[in-house]
Structure 1
Amino acid sequence: MRIEFGWSLDGSAWADGTGAHGTARMGPRALVQLLQNRLGLTRPSIEQAVRVAEHARAIARADHPWPRGSFAVDPWSTATTLLSWRDAAVAAGARLRPAPGQPERIAALCAIEELRTASAAAPGAADDLRELVDVLEQEVTWPLGIEELICHEALTDLPGLWPQLLELLDRAGVRVTEVEAAVSRRPELLILEAEDEWSAAETAARLLAGREGAPLQILAGADTVVLDQELHRRDLPAVGVAEPAADRTALQILPLFLSLAVAPVDVQQLAALLDLRVMDAPESGGDHVGLVPARARAALLDALAQEPGTGGTAWRRTIAALEADQEISGSGLAIVRALDALVADPIPPAQLTPSRLRTATEPLGARLRALGQGDPGLTRATAHLQVLLDVLGTLDEGTALGERELSQIVDSAGGRAASPFARPEATTAWRTCSRPAQLLPRGGDVLWWGADRDDARTGVQWDAAEVEALTALGAHLLEPARLAALETDAGLRGLRGADRLVVVRTRRRTEKATAPHALLAHLAAERAEPGQGVAEVLAGLTLSPADALVDDGFELAGSRRPLRVPTPARIPEPPRDLTRQVAPAPHIVPPRLSYSQAENLLGCRQKWTFGNGLQIRAASVATVPTGNRMIGTLVHAVVEELVLSAEEEEGRTGPPTPERIREEIMAQVPRLASELELPGREVELASLREQAVRSLVEFFDRLGAAGLVITSVESRFEEPLTLHLRRGDLTVPFLGFRDVLAEDASGAPTVIDLKWTYAAQKYPDLFDTGEALQLASYAVSLHDDRTDVGYFLLSQGEFVASNPALDPHGRPTLDIEDLWSRGTTGMTEALEAIGDGVVDARSGQILLDAGQDLSTPRTEAKKTYARAREAARGAGSLVVDARCDYCEFSLLCGMRGDAS
């Protein structure tokens, strides 16, 4: 066997050797692995996170003063850094032993190494190299099976133990030589620079498609995802280069799961885990895509939408139903039970011990194994969990990890996962590599995709005293400049082996400006005339994609391809009429109506048709309340509980005290607004609590002063509603919940609707203009002409009512009969139109007719709606602002998005 060895050749294919039979092309990592195999020194690989954990134990035991302060504040990062320094010193050839007069950093590394050696800590790549040298220094009595090792670099130019290793191989019978100098060409250089990646990809794909079988190498210095799409459009195979990353789906499962295991529980994270899809295959029985089975996922997300917290009535009721569901069993039911237990009793941050973390993650491991069945993504997720467990196994059982340290461990344990786009497709048309040094010196053309600057790593920086100390311990250290030159020289050798270099790069990538690769500066310097700068040379060699377009098509670097210029398309104007004319749909009628449905029918018939008629809904995970909606639900529940518990409290007279209100708010937060308990939101929660206390004290005091006694809260009603359509009467149940129902001394009812909103003028305006349809619907359901109605604005602590004892602003009495008549007329007209197939977006149309759209300032839009309401009121109708700016269907109706 012959080996072609180069310092920068790791990642090369064996078949890329010099061409002789049995020649392999290798870099340092590949050569070490081969020698380990030949000498019987292979061992199971040890994950770096496990090594860091073991190193952290050694640091703690050594208790050296130099890293002590840093280790106390951030143990994991400190251990990671010290281990990287230790490995660099060992790879350089140093045998770390304490000695008098050593610099502090070297002394610390040596002290920690003593304890590391005593505890038989897991070896790394540097130890593998050290072991090879130690074994080869002894007499090797069996053949290595390597006839010749041809080096790209001189032995004296290599760092650390490498010169010694290669000399020992020579002594063991391997002929070690330097590669013959290849023909060093001065390749033709052409740089094509595009403004964006899409233009660059299109030009590169045309170049590849227009070639006629001439030899070509592709040097992919950046991912080729966009380029591959353009190649597929031209029936060419994908290059398939994409870097691994730490944010792949497989590596998100464990961090997301652990975020729920630690108190307090973030309900939005819980919703994200429930909705997480872990496999690309289509669902089979609803149990093979999500970590949580589909049936359970939907039910639990619905529960969170009702109560954005855990442990509440909706959550417990759903868990009980899932336990009884015969279609959910095995690992699917087990993960549901585990999640329930996890969020019911999360681990306090001060008790993140290895045993509790192992117990918490055990159901996750079982579920991943049950779902995996060879799926690479889930196999990677299972490995991520196993590495975490291995790290926990190195810790003392009494060790309590901090949340930050746990996060660091989880990140380190995951490493990086392969991209799903890293799938090269078979081709004989060109050869692909990712580093300039890997290019074969066979002439022809090289297409260099993504030639952006990538500064070479120079290793650990040691000062002069540290270099002297490490040299005394056996290290062979190169100056940083010489070390960087190894990679630079290798890259230039690879590039100079081509006849022509076609460089395709972009000025910006991922929204950041880029700079040309440093090797381009070296190539440009060779072409510079006296007094000419490198930047000037590069500018003279640079073309734009437009420069490759000629009269009859595309022409660049010997590649020709005919092009057809498409007829310019005129981008249509945004729609000015949002009405949809479809086939008559008399079958689309509501099986029941609520105020929210009635509001949609009046405000936007398309919104009602999409959402209620056709059952098009937002994803369940998007319906989990947050912000104002969550706070409103919380305060509603507080009022309900305060009223319902009043009779059970001995000695309770009058309204609840501020202390009782405050107590109830804090009791309801975990169930209905658990995100307010997250770290960093303490001030927000305290501010909200005191605001709600002041508001509810005002609410109860004002009701008492007005002589009103609350008789029920959240009382459900259901009344038949008959709408007289042309095709016949339609009777549907109209249902809802009255927030607060009170009575005065004579028994006359008053309905109060609670609103948490920062739009302080919205509800007073609806009341004053006689447009408060929701209050009218509640009043009609009571069938009592004496019924009074009003709003209570929870955020502002104010009533909006005609009763002067509640609201001193002298508001007019709401004409309930007229308002309800106008509302039912509007609902009838809407259902008539939908039945006829005429479906408009009335709320959006009002804006368009006024020359406005969603970019119009809200203050101006409100004036437009006010004028429309006034005109409709004069015609005996209603106008409802359906808030197109918040509507999830605004893309479908045409109010939002690109009309082209």
Structure 2
Amino acid sequence: MIESLRCSRSIPLDTVELLDDVDDIPPGWRDLFSALAQAGVRISAHPSRPRGARNSDLGRLQRHLYVGTREPLVGDGSLAVVRARTSLDASEVIAEWLAAGPRDRRGTVVIAPSDALSLIDVAVARRGMPTFADSKRAAQRGALHVLPALVATLWRPLDVDAVLRFLQLPCSPLPKRVARVLADSLAREPGLGGPVWGDAWDLLKREEAAAPSGSGNRGALAWREWIDFARFDRYPGIPRDEVVAICGMVGNWALPNGDTTGSRREAAEMAAALTAAVSVLDRTHLSASLIERMAVAAASGAATPSRQAEASHDRAVPLPGALWARAGTVVWWHRSTTLSPSDTSPWTPDERALLEAVGCRMPDSVAERRRAARQTLQAVFNAGRRLVLVEVVIDAGEDGGSHAVRALATPLFQDAPIEFDATSALRSERSILAGHDIVRVREPTRRLAEARDCWTVPLGLASVIERRVESATTLDDLARCPLRWLLGRVAGLKPSGDRVAPATERLIGDLAHAVASSCFEAGKVPDPRSVRVSAQAALDRLVVEIAAPLRLPEATAALAFAAARIPSSMESLARILADRGATVLGTEIDRNGAFGHVDVRGRIDMVVSQACGALAIIDLKWTTAPGFRRDEISSGRAVQLATYRQLLVAGGNVHAGYYLIRQEKLIGADDLSLATEHVSANGSLDETWRSVASDRAAVLAAAWSGGHVAAASDAFRGSERAASRRGDQRSPCRFCNLRVICRVPKE
């Protein structure tokens, strides 16, 4: 273009007006304007002069920056500095001021970065005002997340958390019911191919078969192609044709009928852009890091489908250099400045030297700083009636949140009556910003619940409790804390948040249970050495099906420990049983029963017949705190063992104990002949069962009568055995998220 201009004799262009000094613009643009000047085009500088009233604080600031005069600021409202702790506080105050606003504020220009402008938009929309909608990038918008989230699930070993994030997208290719069922199954048993995963698909197929024809249900096979597919090693990566096929899936989902409108159009365009990008690469395979970066880049470049500017006299710009004409009122966030190349340049000095050696001239850092300073002054000078500077402390870096304009006129700002505390204003009913009132009406508030000893049971929960089917785990919760059981198990109160894979120790425990079930069948105890071999084979298979997160790099040490300890522990268990003449009667035995007002359902890990003829229940535990289980037995608080004993043979000759997989020990009371470590128990399992059944009867009676339920270590009235079992009432609770309403002190 520059060469063409130099050869041209006539150009249909008379004048070009530059906002920046021609000597400060980048070299390429400087050459272009030089060629235009040689072709006869007049190149001139845009006039930059103060536009504020002379007798106002704004005019005094402008003259100080223009000619260096120093006149004290009087606080007349034409110049204000809003200082806030967070951008949220600042955006609320600015929106309140704009809504309350001065009549002469039409034509307001907001200079703010995209994240701050998003907060302002939310605040002004809540007050019925038009939004600015200057945010042109939105990688976090629903449909735009589908492609990057899907790409994150392509690799092996399987990243279950990535699959869960894909299933829980707000705008997903899968129906919400399907995604919820699959996410629930993965959170329970994180792997593709285990029994819980299979049960989830069977449920979806039954629902599909029962759905009426013409309901628009695409079917389980179509849904499964988004989850169950061949996965690839992160390096060398995925074949290019597979990436194109995945992009095609996303495009077909986003625009099933080729429609070019709607909120998912940008997702289809993003998939098409990624297809075009990978098609020109001279590679047969794309590594995981490369394709993930490309997908994120495509998402960040997509326009926001749900953000549209609304009709208004006000405008928003991201940088001060974009304000080149007079504006009545300017609201300016402190982070919206043009930074110098030393702060933003992506090139190292060596790279700059190489580029300049081949004729690519780089911008001069001194000229860039002059250009940034000129743009800052230009924004100040173009404010006609009012300038509001916003400083956010928590967003600040080394400058402490100080605005660039303050730095240029520090002497003028010292002790000037122009400061406004936004955070304090949000707690005040009336405050004055830039000469105008902000009036806020205090809404009535309700105090949060205070911690107390007992809480009244809502009458509506009585029928829920009566219909409940308990398990050994839920009854154990009831014995430890009736309040937590009532809120969590009965009322269904749970911490908010997305579904995630279980923690590592929980995964290893579930894996160990599944390995034990595959190694021990009903009948004679197998040879211990063969048990070890079968346990190792089962572990290698089951870790993929039900504990996939253990195969990720960050879990390498934990998996290595489990792979060594679990087979060894299964061999030790087989040897303990064989040496004591026990016979395996079954593993993972499902039982249910009704005992008075308590209906119970449970799954017993292992039942064996001892040499003496008595039955024994073995509850497998993977724990790092074996003393906790010993304390349960010794204090008569082994509720799970008591429940399993009741389910197996109520009142019969049945013993029970814990097999600690990690420690390779079988612990139990003195009557368990199989135990390798005996613990003196304070009471029998029958007494423990009667105590927990009494607790449940007490809470049911309290629910019907509108009585009270006690928190933590307190017991119900009339359950003296439960009181002694729970121990010292002053001891604090651990690992509980209800401590804010429980009177038990924290540790």
TM-score range, shorter chain: 0.7 to 0.9
The one of 683, 708, 712 aligned to 1:844: 712
The one of 292, 298, 303 aligned to 2:185: 303
1:24 counterpart residue number: none
1:339 counterpart residue number: 226
Q: CA deviation at 1:798?
A: 1.7
1:764 maps to amino acid: R
User: In the aligned structure 2, how far is the partner of 1:340 from the partner of 1:353?
Assistant: 18
The one of 197, 203, 206 aligned to 1:315: 197
Q: CA deviation at 1:675?
A: 0.6
2:532 counterpart residue number: 658
Q: CA deviation at 1:734?
A: 2.4
Q: Would you say how many aligned residue pairs link Structure 1 and Structure 2?
A: 702
Alpha-carbon spacing, 1:686–1:420, altered in 2? closer, same or farther (3 Å): same
User: In the aligned structure 1, how far is the partner of 2:136 from the partner of 2:402?
Assistant: 20
Q: CA deviation at 1:703?
A: 1.8
Alpha-carbon spacing, 1:487–1:738, altered in 2? closer, same or farther (3 Å): same
1:492-516, Cα deviation, whole Å (9 max, x unpaired):
1232233443312122218986443
Q: Write the mapping of 1:339-738 to structure 2, written as runs, cut at 5 A.
A: 339-342=226-229, 345-346=231-232, 349-370=235-256, 378-396=264-282, 399-417=284-302, 423-428=308-313, 430-442=314-326, 444-450=328-334, 454-457=338-341, 470=356, 473=359, 479-499=364-384, 500-509=386-395, 514-522=400-408, 524=409, 534=410, 536-541=411-416, 543-545=419-421, 553-561=430-438, 574-583=450-459, 586-588=462-464, 589-611=466-488, 613-614=490-491, 622=499, 624-644=501-521, 653-654=527-528, 656-723=530-597, 733-738=599-604
Aligned partners of 2:461 and 2:491 also within 8 Å: no
- Say if 2:145 is the partner of 1:276: no
- Say if 2:660 is the partner of 1:788: no
Q: CA deviation at 1:762?
A: 1.8
Alpha-carbon spacing, 1:165–1:716, altered in 2? closer, same or farther (3 Å): same
Q: TM-score, normalised by structure 2?
A: 0.80
User: In the aligned structure 1, how far is the partner of 2:358 from the partner of 2:231?
Assistant: 56
Aligned partners of 1:632 and 1:755 also within 8 Å: yes
Tell me the SS of whatever aligns to 2:595: strand
Alpha-carbon spacing, 1:457–1:252, altered in 2? closer, same or farther (3 Å): farther
Aligned partners of 1:262 and 1:347 also within 8 Å: yes
Q: CA deviation at 1:810?
A: 5.1
1:302-346, Cα deviation, whole Å (9 max, x unpaired):
33244221112232343344345244866564552213432x655
1:349-401, Cα deviation, whole Å (9 max, x unpaired):
4352212333455434433334996676533333332222222212345x333
1:754-812, Cα deviation, whole Å (9 max, x unpaired):
11122322221111122212212222233363211111112222222123542343534
User: In the aligned structure 2, how far is the partner of 1:508 from the partner of 1:402?
Assistant: 38
2:647 maps to amino acid: S
User: In the aligned structure 2, how far is the partner of 1:661 from the partner of 1:234?
Assistant: 64
User: In the aligned structure 1, how far is the partner of 2:336 from the partner of 2:497?
Assistant: 43
User: In the aligned structure 2, how far is the partner of 1:395 from the partner of 1:552?
Assistant: 61
1:455 maps to amino acid: L
User: In the aligned structure 2, how far is the partner of 1:461 from the partner of 1:591?
Assistant: 66
Q: TM-score, normalised by structure 1?
A: 0.68
User: In the aligned structure 2, how far is the partner of 1:675 from the partner of 1:417?
Assistant: 32
Aligned partners of 2:108 and 2:330 also within 8 Å: yes
User: In the aligned structure 2, how far is the partner of 1:448 from the partner of 1:431?
Assistant: 12
Q: Write the mapping of 1:878-897 to structure 2, written as runs, cut at 5 A.
A: 886=735, 890=738, 894-895=741-742
Q: Write the mapping of 1:775-814 to structure 2, written as runs, cut at 5 A.
A: 775-783=641-649, 785-801=652-668, 802=670, 803-809=672-678, 811-812=680-681
1:791 maps to amino acid: Y
User: In the aligned structure 2, how far is the partner of 1:768 from the partner of 1:895?
Assistant: 27
> Is the deviation greater in 253-262 or in 873-882?
873-882
1:197 counterpart residue number: 87
Aligned partners of 2:183 and 2:499 also within 8 Å: no
**Structure with the greater relative contact order (CA < 8 A, sep ≥ 6): 1 or 2?**
2
User: In the aligned structure 2, how far is the partner of 1:463 from the partner of 1:631?
Assistant: 51
2:275 maps to amino acid: L
Alpha-carbon spacing, 1:770–1:498, altered in 2? closer, same or farther (3 Å): closer
2:151 counterpart residue number: 258
2:293 maps to amino acid: Q
Alpha-carbon spacing, 1:362–1:439, altered in 2? closer, same or farther (3 Å): closer
User: In the aligned structure 1, how far is the partner of 2:152 from the partner of 2:96?
Assistant: 48
User: In the aligned structure 2, how far is the partner of 1:796 from the partner of 1:512?
Assistant: 52
Aligned partners of 1:301 and 1:620 also within 8 Å: no
The one of 685, 693, 703 aligned to 1:834: 703
Q: CA deviation at 1:739?
A: 0.6
- Say if 2:662 is the partner of 1:771: no
Alpha-carbon spacing, 1:516–1:233, altered in 2? closer, same or farther (3 Å): same
Aligned partners of 1:770 and 1:814 also within 8 Å: yes
Q: CA deviation at 1:454?
A: 4.9
1:505-545, Cα deviation, whole Å (9 max, x unpaired):
122218986443444433x1xxxxxxxxx4x5443346242
1:53 counterpart residue number: none
- Say if 2:626 is the partner of 1:760: yes
1:646-666, Cα deviation, whole Å (9 max, x unpaired):
98x9xx645634333223222
1:415 maps to amino acid: S
Tell me the SS of whatever aligns to 2:678: coil
Alpha-carbon spacing, 1:294–1:561, altered in 2? closer, same or farther (3 Å): closer
Q: Which runs of 5+ in 1 are unaligned?
A: 1-131, 279-289, 525-533, 724-731, 847-864
1:291 counterpart residue number: 173
1:622 maps to amino acid: R
Alpha-carbon spacing, 1:218–1:884, altered in 2? closer, same or farther (3 Å): farther
1:751 counterpart residue number: 617
User: In the aligned structure 1, how far is the partner of 2:397 from the partner of 2:571?
Assistant: 52
Alpha-carbon spacing, 1:372–1:612, altered in 2? closer, same or farther (3 Å): farther
User: In the aligned structure 2, how far is the partner of 1:165 from the partner of 1:210?
Assistant: 45
User: In the aligned structure 2, how far is the partner of 1:796 from the partner of 1:237?
Assistant: 65
Q: CA deviation at 1:676?
A: 0.8
Tell me the SS of whatever aligns to 2:185: helix
1:159 maps to amino acid: P
1:217 counterpart residue number: 108
